[in-house]
C-alpha cells in the first residue's frame, strides 16, 4: 500500500538494453579528460557539454529486498567504454556504482590535452559514481587520478621488467 512496501516486494532479474541515454548534469568525458590532462601535465581548454550522452547502456539487474544489483553494467560513449557493477537502494533512492573506463585515442577530439597515450590505453581508469538521485548530479561521479597515475607507474614497471627478462633469456641467462 506504500511506495516502500511496493519497492521492497519487487523480486527478479531484469535485462536492460537501451540506446542514446543522457545523464543530465554530469560530464563523464570532462572528468576523464581532466585525469588524462593531468597525466599529460596540461590544462583543458575546451568547453564540455554539461550532460553525458551515452551511445548505449546495458545491464543485468537483480532486484530483491528493495535493492537492485547491476552486474554487469556496460555503458559506451563515442570515445570511452565503461564497464562495472553497482547497486541501487530503491526506497532510499541511493546508488553506488564502480566502473572501469577504457579510453580510445579519439578522446583527443574533445580537447588537445586529452591525448591518450599507449600508457593510458593499457589501463582501466577507475570511475566511481554514488549518491542520491535527489541530489545534484554534478556531485555524483569522480575519477581517481591518483589511482590512474599509480596504475600507469606499475604498468610501466612491469613492461621494463618484461624487457629485462626477455633480454636475459635472449642472452642465455
Indicate if the pLDDT at residue 58 is higher than 80.
yes
pLDDT at 147: 65
pLDDT at 110: 94
Please state the pTM of the whole predicted model: 0.78
pLDDT at 124: 85
- If you average pLDDT over residues 60-83, what whole number do you get? 95
- If you average pLDDT over residues 33-53, what whole number do you get? 91
Of residues 25, 22, 28, the one with CA closest to residue 143: 28
Please tell me whether residue 164 adopts helix, strand or coil conformation: helix
Amino acid at each position: 500500500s506504500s511506495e516502500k512496501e511496493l519497492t521492497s516486494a519487487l523480486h527478479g532479474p531484469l535485462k536492460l538494453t537501451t540506446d542514446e541515454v543522457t545523464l543530465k548534469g554530469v560530464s563523464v568525458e570532462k572528468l576523464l579528460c581532466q585525469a588524462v590532462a593531468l597525466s599529460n601535465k596540461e590544462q583543458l581548454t575546451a568547453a564540455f557539454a554539461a550532460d553525458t550522452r551515452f551511445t548505449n547502456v546495458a545491464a543485468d539487474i537483480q532486484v530483491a529486498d528493495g535493492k537492485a544489483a547491476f552486474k554487469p553494467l556496460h555503458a559506451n560513449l563515442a570515445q570511452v567504454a565503461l564497464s562495472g557493477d553497482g547497486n541501487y537502494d530503491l526506497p532510499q533512492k541511493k546508488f553506488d556504482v564502480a566502473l572501469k573506463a577504457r579510453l580510445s585515442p579519439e578522446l583527443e577530439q574533445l580537447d588537445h590535452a586529452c591525448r591518450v597515450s599507449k600508457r593510458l590505453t593499457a589501463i582501466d581508469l577507475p570511475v566511481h559514481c554514488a549518491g542520491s538521485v535527489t541530489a545534484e548530479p554534478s556531485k555524483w561521479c569522480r575519477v581517481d587520478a591518483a589511482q590512474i597515475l599509480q596504475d600507469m607507474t606499475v604498468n610501466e614497471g612491469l613492461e621494463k621488467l618484461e624487457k629485462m627478462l626477455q633480454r636475459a633469456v635472449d642472452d642465455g641467462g
